[in-house]
Amino acid sequence: MWELALGLGAMSVTAHRQQRGGRRALDSAIAEFPDLPVEAIVKEDVLRQGIGFSPGALARSAAGKPKSYFIFSFDHIPISEMGQGEHQRAPEEITLSGGPWGLRRTVVSVRVNPASPYQVALEGEDRRGPSSEGGGEPILYLDGSPLVPVVFPDSPAYYGRSLASGRPITEVAPCIEWGYLIYLTVFRVCQYFGRDEECRFCDINENFRQQRAAGRPYVGVKMVDEVIEALAIIAELDRDAQAYTITGGAVTTELEGLSEGAFYARYAAAIEARFPRRWISKVVAQALPEADVQRFKDAGVRIYHPNYEIWDAERFALICPGKARHIGRETWIRRIEAAAEILGPANVIPNFVAGVEMARPYGFPTVAEALRSTGEGLAHFMRQGIVPRFTTWCAEPLSDLGRDQGPAPLAYHAGLLRLWRDTHARYRLPAPPGYGPPGAGRAVFSVSAFMDVIDPDTPVAPL
Ligand code: SF4
């Protein structure tokens, strides 16, 4: 039988990454938030704490669709501490279905953490030996007890292909959200460099360095022609993807002689010229002037994500120093609102990083204060028809804030789901477009559970 202690890799993991909350905390959140789908609470807890994998589970998942490291590391330990080569073998996402609560299928992004109370192993696996590939189906264990069956993603038909340059297609155009979204990180680094400029929760530049050091063929800037070549293969072989996102780090001066708006717009223009409206076109960029938003629209972009990361003014300045200095919070908010005039409010979907507003040393000391602040921000945007979404913070150790602390409490994340859902319902808003269907058992958005808490009968905003 699988030994129900922490995974083999856990021994090398620094103490601060070890268990933050197990079954008791999960049961208590489920009892405290009976109006939330259990799926959403479990998903948030798995996202905030990450997952460890047994040798057998890794051997199984490696044969499917491994993590692509599509932009950040989204792991709780650096690659250098991964004792089982998890960076090449852990799955991109998993689904959870069944178990004691009869969970409807729930898609969860994988964040490697060998010391997590959540461990995936094969049923009946004996992991004491050097080779542990036996066993039955994968199961998610919590505190060593079986919780819910797991499914690993199959590799999409196009994943084995390479481009004419020899570059694997997965380095140019991986997909996430169970195949729904093609993720085009066309600029792999950020021009906000160092502690005084980078957003303090972000490891984009450090992740670039660690991936290169680990041998992954990351390039700083993807060529437009290679993106088109990759998408031509996907258009031929794939029917699952419904959307693509063009994104990357901030451009504070110029990149290849172009401003940030012009740089990202050129990819959208090339894609839409070659494959008009084949997928829903999305861009994640800073809050840019109206002329750039119009440029995006003219290029065929339908959804724009000018991510404000954190609502509170004081904490925005401390946690996003580069953004605060180069653009400023008031301008950022004003530009989000101006973008809504150009693209339509439902098509401007700014992200915030859920949980980072509680991180030491700048964070709110209590869950109530953190939620009160974020609630202000949600109401500010939602009353104008703009629906922010959130990504659950992964305390990445290569980021400034993630170096020596773990995630925000589960009560914060469950409270945020309730707050988000109730604010969204109060303003009678449609489900955001470009995320697939809403509702527990249907949602595919994998890095937070906001889509899982929307009433499945809520119509999706038309594009
Ligand atoms: S702007 Fe901030 S969050 Fe975005 S890539 Fe740069 S450092 Fe990271």
DSSP letters, 95-115, are EEEETTTTEEEEEEE--B-TT
Do both 186 and 145 map to the same domain?
no
Strands 351-354 and 303-306: unpaired
Q: And the tokens for 439?
A: 């509702």
Q: Is residue 1 part of a domain?
A: no
Q: Is residue 456 part of a domain?
A: no
Do both 55 and 145 map to the same domain?
yes
Measure the CA angle with vertex 151, ends 31 and 176; round to 5°.
95
Q: Is residue 421 part of a domain?
A: yes
Query: pLDDT tens string for the chain (463 positions)?
Result: 344 443 333 333 443 444 468 999 999 999 999 999 999 999 999 999 999 999 999 999 999 999 999 999 999 999 999 999 999 999 999 999 999 999 999 999 999 999 999 999 999 887 554 445 567 999 999 999 999 999 999 999 999 999 999 999 999 999 999 999 999 999 999 999 998 999 999 999 999 999 999 999 999 999 999 999 999 999 999 999 999 999 999 999 999 999 999 999 999 999 999 999 999 999 999 999 999 999 999 999 999 999 999 999 999 999 999 999 999 999 999 999 999 999 999 999 999 999 999 999 999 999 999 999 999 999 999 999 999 999 999 999 999 999 999 999 999 999 999 999 999 999 999 999 999 999 999 999 999 999 999 999 999 999 9
- Classify 176 as helix, strand or coil: strand
Ligand 1: centre distance to CA 351 (Å)? 12
Q: Is residue 157 part of a domain?
A: no
**Mutational pocket test of ligand 1: of 187, 199, 284, the residue with most ligand atoms within 8 Å of the beta carbon:** 199
Do both 21 and 98 map to the same domain?
yes
Residue 129: predicted pLDDT: 47
Q: Is residue 160 part of a domain?
A: no
Residues 6+ apart with CB under 8 A from 223: none
Do both 254 and 375 map to the same domain?
yes
Residue 12: predicted pLDDT: 37
Residues 6+ apart with CB under 8 A from 302: 280, 281, 282, 343, 347, 433, 434, 463
Do both 436 and 290 map to the same domain?
yes
Q: Does ligand 1 come within 6 angstroms of the Cβ of 204?
A: yes
Residue 21: predicted pLDDT: 81
Rounded-to-integer distance, Cα 137 and Cα 122, Å? 5
Rounded-to-integer distance, Cα 302 and Cα 299, Å? 9
Strand locations in 298-361 (E): 303-306, 351-354
Do both 176 and 147 map to the same domain?
no
Q: Is residue 80 part of a domain?
A: yes
Ligand 1 atom with least separation from CA of 190: 6
Residue 127: predicted pLDDT: 58
Residue 134: predicted pLDDT: 63
Q: Does ligand 1 come within 6 angstroms of the Cβ of 398?
A: no
Residue 19: predicted pLDDT: 46
Do both 390 and 430 map to the same domain?
yes
Do both 144 and 174 map to the same domain?
no
Residue 130: predicted pLDDT: 42
Measure the CA angle with vertex 428, ends 426 and 433; round to 5°.
125
Neighbours of 162 (CB within 10 A): 14
| Residue after which a domain boundary falls, among 120, 151, 182 | 151
Residue 39: predicted pLDDT: 98
Give me the residues paired with residue 149 across strands: 139
Residues 6+ apart with CB under 8 A from 225: none
**Mutational pocket test of ligand 1: of 190, 193, 284, the residue with most ligand atoms within 8 Å of the beta carbon:** 190
Rounded-to-integer distance, Cα 14 and Cα 462, Å? 47
Provide the domain count of the chain: 2
Ligand 1: centre distance to CA 439 (Å)? 30
Q: Is residue 95 part of a domain?
A: yes
Rg (CA), the chain: 21
Which residues constitute the domain of residue 42? 8-151
Do both 397 and 310 map to the same domain?
yes
Q: Is residue 300 part of a domain?
A: yes
Do both 211 and 104 map to the same domain?
no
Do both 389 and 341 map to the same domain?
yes
Q: Does ligand 1 come within 6 angstroms of the Cβ of 198?
A: yes
Do both 80 and 204 map to the same domain?
no
